[in-house]
Structure 1
Amino acid sequence: MTGPHDYAVVVPSIGRPSLYRLLETLAGQAGPRPAELVVVDDRPAPPGASAAASPIVLAALPFPTRVVRTQGRGPAAARNAGWRCTSAPWVVFLDDDVELLPHWAQALAEDLRAVPADGAGSQAQLHVPLPGHRRPTDWERGTAGLQDAAWATADMAYRRSALEQVHGFDERFPRAYREDADLALRVLRAGWRLTRGERVTLHPVRPADDLVSLRAQRGNADDVLMRVLHGPGWREDGDVPTGAFPRHVATTLALVGAGAAVAVGRPREAALAGAAWAFLSTDFLRRRLLPGPRPGDPEFGAEARRMLVTSLAIPPAAVAHRLRGAWRVRRGAPAWPPPVRAVLFDRDGTLVRDVPYNGDPDRVKLMPFAREALDAVRAAGLRTGVVSNQSGVARGLLTIRQVEDVNAEIDRRLGGLGVWRYCPHGPESSGADCACRKPGPGLVLAAARELGVEPYECLVVGDIGADLGAAVSAGARAVLVPTAQTRPEEVAAAPVVAADLLEAVGLAVRLAGGTGEPAHPAPGPALDPASGTGRSPAAGGTRR
């Protein structure tokens, strides 16, 4: 890597103030600048609200920058949405709570030049600053553990071709936990190598409440998925420490045994089990408290209270989350990406002729092969839905009743679809005022939820870039069926282009069979979910 356009930066964020410090340190780099920066706003829309959360607003930066919204689907999904709308040969993933040293960009360039031809990625050396005047707290020590973590995406550069080969991050990992280890294992097993670079990135300890260590036990559910996907040796293969779970099991069994003995009137057995629980719990508390602040330190009292409460609660919580994870994958888990289970169609220009702002059911004309395509999808056992922008409502050109009358006529002619979702807002409402309009993910996420499938189990079929942008932001797969109104840059940016609806649903049927075809953007002009078009200078705004 030698030039300013060889890498893109992707930052998933939930709007923490530390994001702006990261961007400040990125903008101040003297070395090669990124081709673009994509900040993925992964804050969920307010429950039951039509409006999204207030947008992340970025100051002017010395490189192309944009914000993509994914509405709270987790860091794996956010990173996927980010890298799939870029086109640089390298993608650098940064967490929104790291800081870059002044010569980071130059060190990154040197690290990437050192990656061998069969190398897929380069990991930074993370440095966690700890207090110098006292021993670190449990939370500070846990954060410092990132310094030894393998393939942590706090600062990890991946070759685009490797990401495409393994289809990116597995979005079934909903937290910032194990999704990076899973990706690294799949990349390594695909025949690539991963290297550790020389660049150093700061990872300050972010503020946390007293129960953060208890909430962290949810990751035990993800460990079950790791075992299912990668086998019993996944920890050794992924260079992941064993952890304290075996002791948590013993502690929980002692507690349950004591309660059961009391319930059946066996006081001696209850006392023995209770003593075992007390010993294991005290030992766990001791292991966590002794390395921390000492008596006399201002932080000692609060840390002691935190450790007492969480040390008693963590073992049963860890076991409960592990059991929950086992129940979730009790029937196994397919390789990533899983088979398609639903096909979501755009309406105007895809299923029916695009009559601008049509409110008359008598003017409905089906696109060629529309009925045959729907019949083929249903015959394959796939669920169906429609996701459509209807800005005529906001413009005063249509009423809700007219939109729904036209929808009902289309539904009748096509033999019935599983769900209809449309956005009545106009282009000026996109962002803080609207959580649904394509190319945002809202319609796709809502349709998937109503159909009882995950977004990544959906294939979106549309005729313009906004349809595909919605798919990228939602984590769905996508195929473009161009019409005379489809812009050339939208065709160039499309992940897959089909000649007609029958060819498009043929892809859906193959993906339903678990063929592993990605149906995600390939190298070349990248799709911009923020505008729904290719990033050509000729690209304009979205239609409808």
Structure 2
Amino acid sequence: MNCTVVIPTIGRESLRVTLDTLLAALENGPGCAPREIIVVDDRQAPGAPLPLPPSAGHETRVVRSGGRGPAAARNAGWRAAATEWVAFLDDDIVPEPEWPARLAADLADLPPEVGGSQGRVTVPLPDDRPPTDWERNTAGLESAAWITADMAYRRSVLAELGGFDERFRRAYREDADLALRALDAGHRLARGARRTTHPVRPAGFWASVRAQSGNADDVLMWRVHGSSWRDRASEGRGLLRRHVLTTAAGLLALAATPVALRDRRGTAVVLAGAGAWTALTARFAYERIRPGPRTPGEVAKMLVTSAVIPSAAIRHRLRGLAVHRRARGWGGPQVVLFDRDDTLIRDVPYNGDPARVEPVPGARGALDRLRRHGVRIGVVSNQSGIAKGRITTGDVRRVNARVEEFLGRIDVWEFCPHDGGDACECRKPRPGMIERAAERLGVLPSDCAVIGDIGGDIEAAAAAGARGILVPTGRTRRSEIALAPETAPTLNAAVDMVLGGRRFR
């Protein structure tokens, strides 16, 4: 089968058995197995290699994505694939035994205009009682469109669209966003016959309150896809407007309380606000309690969380409006920031002599390719020789000017003049230079890719929320290579990875 299966995971111990079952089904099911299975280790501090279950065979390999969230993990997975199709599965689903064969049948002979194929998801619910509020929410996955619990895309479509939008840091909305962009680009999305089961995960008392963080992601969807995105994504209108009224009523009562303590006339305002808040909260709680199971524990949970959810939803909505106030459509990195020494030019320790500048072979061509595609270019470089007294700031600027003579215009230069013990915020692996460069170019750090030759470059990228690509040299340690989420053998190959994740018109 000309398909790779990508499974992001953060290595949760509770899902070890599920992942074992999943890999066994993919490798040992009847029919043609996937060409390759890529498990993406998305732990922020992976440490030891992710232990694969005993069922994992030679078709399975692990890549690391640096703990940047499910969207970035899936991007790392499909970029590492080399097949026509890439199928994405969650690490907590259970495929039917015939899933590989039915995937092959779903993808066989699809016309070129079909860019994706969605599987069918079943959520098992209890037979002996009505489902809880959390179970009902999970059951919504059965009717959700384009969810990556089981979704396959042509690799060429992923490359054209720039993959998943990495501004979505949670497993929420990133799949709908990709599907809407695929439809906008003229690709059709089909529904296949393969089936998976999505068990209901255990959820704590406050799970429904934590889920309100998705309101910030909804702002990004609105910014990118317009006010009609819910209709296009087959999403309901939600309860945000009612949550606004509930929160406003509660704030009014709180704000009027000091006045009421001094003046009786404020009492009416307090009573009106408190009454409206109580009525709206009671209605919300009743709607969640009525379907069942109405056990004492479930009723208590619904009463408490229904009082908290409206304000939590509004808080996350405001956070989304602030964070995504300048959001534009996703097209992969808009800026590429390079380390200087041993990445763009040969490393000459503490070099202050422009005559000793020697570009790395292929550097000019790699930068010109980015320029032709409208990608802006910057350099972020540690220059501790200034703090050591070996070179001056003027020496660094003269060397940088010579670099531009060889490699062409650089849109932004940032260099750190401090030494390792100065505890500054700009010296890599701290993110200061990346954040400053992004601000000067009017983009977010998440709109940037960073290409460098040592682990500090990649750590700085991760700390800033940017994509990091390591191009190892003779001084790159093996441990740095092992920890890098993405590596490329040459500078040109790194640029290929950046351009392969962009959409160009």
Structure 1 length normalisation: TM-score?
A: 0.71
In 1, the alpha carbon distance for the partners of 2:491 and 2:340 equals 19
Equivalent positions of 1:205-244 (< 5 A) are: 205-244=200-239
Q: Report Cα offsets for 1:347-393 as digits up to 9, x if no partner.
A: 3263215x8xx79999x9432399x98x999xx996532499xxxxx
In 2, the alpha carbon distance for the partners of 1:112 and 1:369 equals 43
Amino acid of the residue matched to residue 281 of structure 1?
T
Q: Which residue of 79, 82, 92 corresponds with 2:87?
A: 92
Post-superposition shift, 1:27? Answer: 2.8
Amino acid of the residue matched to residue 343 of structure 1?
L
Equivalent positions of 1:4-153 (< 5 A) are: 6-17=2-13, 18=15, 19-45=19-45, 52-59=46-53, 61-113=56-108, 115-153=110-148
In 2, the alpha carbon distance for the partners of 1:165 and 1:327 equals 29
Structure 1 residue aligned with 2:448: 458
In 2, the alpha carbon distance for the partners of 1:87 and 1:59 equals 24
Amino acid of the residue matched to residue 418 of structure 1?
F
In 1, the alpha carbon distance for the partners of 2:94 and 2:226 equals 36
Q: Report Cα offsets for 1:366-425 as digits up to 9, x if no partner.
A: 32399x98x999xx996532499xxxxxxxxxxx99xx99999995763474359999xx
Count of residues in Structure 1 that have an aligned counterpart in Structure 2: 445
> Contact 1:478–1:520 (CA<8 Å) still a contact in 2?
no
Secondary structure of 1:414 counterpart: helix
Secondary structure of 1:126 counterpart: strand
In 2, the alpha carbon distance for the partners of 1:476 and 1:307 equals 40
Pair 248,206 (structure 1): closer, same or farther in 2 beyond 3 Å: same
Post-superposition shift, 1:342? Answer: 5.2
Structure 2 residue aligned with 1:494: 493
> Contact 1:89–1:161 (CA<8 Å) still a contact in 2?
yes
Structure 2 residue aligned with 1:418: 415
Matched, 1:259 2:254: yes
In 1, the alpha carbon distance for the partners of 2:109 and 2:430 equals 41
Matched, 1:277 2:283: no
> Contact 1:98–1:154 (CA<8 Å) still a contact in 2?
yes
Q: Report Cα offsets for 1:299-350 as digits up to 9, x if no partner.
A: x2322222121110000110111111112233x3222136634512263263
Judging by fraction of residues, say which structure has more helix.
2
Structure 2 residue aligned with 1:182: 177
Post-superposition shift, 1:448? Answer: 3.8
In 1, the alpha carbon distance for the partners of 2:77 and 2:8 equals 8
In 1, the alpha carbon distance for the partners of 2:350 and 2:435 equals 28
Q: Report Cα offsets for 1:152-181 as digits up to 9, x if no partner.
A: 001100111111111111111111111111
> How well do the aligned residues superpose, as a CA RMSD in angstroms?
4.3
Pair 156,419 (structure 1): closer, same or farther in 2 beyond 3 Å: farther
Q: Which residue of 496, 500, 504 corresponds with 1:520?
A: 500
Amino acid of the residue matched to residue 271 of structure 2?
A
In 2, the alpha carbon distance for the partners of 1:333 and 1:131 equals 42
> Contact 2:429–2:457 (CA<8 Å) still a contact in 1?
no
> Contact 1:84–1:472 (CA<8 Å) still a contact in 2?
no
Structure 2 length normalisation: TM-score?
A: 0.76
In 1, the alpha carbon distance for the partners of 2:473 and 2:47 equals 33
Gaps in structure 2 of 5+ consecutive residues: 261-265, 401-412, 421-427, 475-487
Matched, 1:368 2:348: no
Identity %: 43
Q: Which moved more, 1:339-348 or 1:270-279?
A: 339-348
Gaps in structure 1 of 5+ consecutive residues: 46-51, 295-299, 389-399, 424-441, 484-488, 498-516, 523-544
Equivalent positions of 1:394-473 (< 5 A) are: 411=396, 414-415=399-400, 417-419=414-416, 448=434, 456-461=446-451
> Contact 2:5–2:88 (CA<8 Å) still a contact in 1?
yes
Pair 338,519 (structure 1): closer, same or farther in 2 beyond 3 Å: closer
> Contact 1:352–1:365 (CA<8 Å) still a contact in 2?
no
In 2, the alpha carbon distance for the partners of 1:178 and 1:456 equals 17
Post-superposition shift, 1:64? Answer: 2.7
Secondary structure of 1:519 counterpart: helix
In 1, the alpha carbon distance for the partners of 2:309 and 2:52 equals 39
Pair 302,448 (structure 1): closer, same or farther in 2 beyond 3 Å: farther
Q: Which residue of 137, 161, 164 corresponds with 1:166?
A: 161
> Contact 2:343–2:360 (CA<8 Å) still a contact in 1?
no
In 1, the alpha carbon distance for the partners of 2:178 and 2:20 equals 27
> Contact 1:346–1:461 (CA<8 Å) still a contact in 2?
no
In 1, the alpha carbon distance for the partners of 2:190 and 2:258 equals 56
In 2, the alpha carbon distance for the partners of 1:342 and 1:25 equals 40
Pair 476,263 (structure 1): closer, same or farther in 2 beyond 3 Å: same
Post-superposition shift, 1:268? Answer: 1.4
Post-superposition shift, 1:257? Answer: 2.0
Amino acid of the residue matched to residue 7 of structure 1?
C
> Contact 1:210–1:306 (CA<8 Å) still a contact in 2?
yes
